[in-house]
Amino acid sequence: MNDLGRLEDLPADYVAALRERNLVPLWPSLRGVLPPHIPTRQTRPTHWAYADIKPLLLKAGELTPIEKAERRVLVLANPGHTLEKMQASAALYLGMQLLLPGEWAPSHRHTPNAVRMVVEGEGAWTTVDGERCPMSRGDLILTPTGLWHEHGHDGDQPVVWLDVLDLPLMYYLEVSYHLNGSRQEVKPGRGDRAYARAGVVPTPVFGRSGKRYPMLRYPWADARAALLSLADDQPDAAHVQVTYTNPESGEDAENVLGFHALMLRPGQTLTLPARSPACVYHVIEGGAQVAAAGQCFPLKEADTCCIPGYESTTLINASASAPAFLFVADESPLHRKLGVYEVRPDNQPVMP
């Protein structure tokens, strides 16, 4: 790869004349924005331990009333993007949210897509588009773009969940904004009951629901059972993973980010090829080592880590007796839609 001319090679008065007119020469920066073979990634492999987060989040509960915070969240920020940017990767935002008994986080809606993965505590609920979704550990609840959502808590212990949003992308696109609303009226009907079994969907006389998001809550009990059943059915399969999908269309549950649950068998080592999307791993049950890009994170229950795209990743379940269950969030729907989704079995570029 031949070197291109540098900015310093140009006469200073010429560069100044360009800059005065909002002009910039491309060639000194061309390799920077279009590097050979592999993209430059700001995203660094980063591990956030729940044992570190929990006491600081409970402290936030003492320091800041919900009325002052609206959403009481500690953001899991990737230092590679600088902490101020509040990004886990180019498109992913992660936050741990605390709701205390009796608190209410008021109704709003916004352009970024969100999901919540419940980490601990019982008795909280999220109302999404009039559907009241109970929150239990491991449940995945969608709050897609434009849908009203609010959180409440009738239990007696703190509830914590992981928020995953495409906020960095929406902000970068200059399309991120919100609207406030009043308390929602809860309507009858629950997607997780109507779509209770894969392969059969409700067909009232005139056909499908016509809803873009027919299912908003994915109970952990069902995803877990699906993984155990899949592992049992395919004892030789290394990759025991399910994807959260729209039960009517079969497409990804949301437009931008992809959500999956993955099971590691006892003692299993699973090596995943390098793929273009950045990826987040969060432990729902058990433990796992996540090794990528020269780093190895020992993830305990409720820990979270982020791995940049284009890095082969090895997942290890060191337990000889218990399976490990991970929640996985990635940028794959976005990459597929943009036509840049790439798998590199041999770590070689295979530009689609």
Asked if residue 141 binds ligand 1HN (CB under 6 A), the reply is no
Asked if residue 223 binds ligand 1HN (CB under 6 A), the reply is no
List 50, 89, 90, 95, residue binding ligand 1HN (CB under 6 A): 95
Nearest CA to 228 out of 259, 192, 262, 198 is that of 262
Closer residue to ligand 1HN (CB): 35 or 65: 65
List 115, 165, 223, 290, residue binding ligand 1HN (CB under 6 A): 165
Secondary structure, 3-state, 261-312: EEEECCCCEEEECEECCCEEEEEEECCEEEEECCEEEEECCCCEEEECCCCC
Asked if residue 166 binds ligand 1HN (CB under 6 A), the reply is no
CA-to-CA distance for 163 and 185, rounded, in angstroms?
24
Contact assessment for residue 133 and residue 187, using Cβ atoms and an 8 Å cutoff: no
The site string for ligand 1HN over 110-139 (x = CB under 6 A, - otherwise) reads x---x-------------------------
List 41, 71, 132, 190, residue binding ligand 1HN (CB under 6 A): 71
CA-to-CA distance for 166 and 221, rounded, in angstroms?
26
Token pair of 93 as six digits: 């935002």
The site string for ligand 1HN over 96-115 (x = CB under 6 A, - otherwise) reads -x-------x----x---x-
Asked if residue 54 binds ligand 1HN (CB under 6 A), the reply is no
Closer residue to ligand 1HN (CB): 240 or 334: 334
* Choices 28-36, 160-168, 184-192, 289-297; region in contact with ligand 1HN by CB under 6 A: 160-168
Asked if residue 265 binds ligand 1HN (CB under 6 A), the reply is no
- 287-314 CB burial, b ≥16 within 10 A, e <16: bbbbbbbeeebebebbbbbbbbbbbbbe
As separate numbers, helices (DSSP H) first and strands (DSSP E) second, the chain gives: 8, 23
CA-to-CA distance for 185 and 267, rounded, in angstroms?
48
Closer residue to ligand 1HN (CB): 76 or 328: 76
Residue in this structure with the two tokens 């001319």, named with its chain if needed: 5
Q: How many residues at the interface with ligand 1HN, by CB under 6 A?
A: 11
List 76, 133, 142, 167, residue binding ligand 1HN (CB under 6 A): 167
Strand extents, DSSP E, 154-278 = 159-165, 178-180, 217-218, 240-243, 258-264, 269-272, 274-275
Asked if residue 92 binds ligand 1HN (CB under 6 A), the reply is no
Closer residue to ligand 1HN (CB): 75 or 230: 75
Closer residue to ligand 1HN (CB): 114 or 324: 114
Provide the binding-site residues for ligand 1HN, judged by CB under 6 A. 71, 73, 95, 97, 105, 110, 114, 149, 163, 165, 167
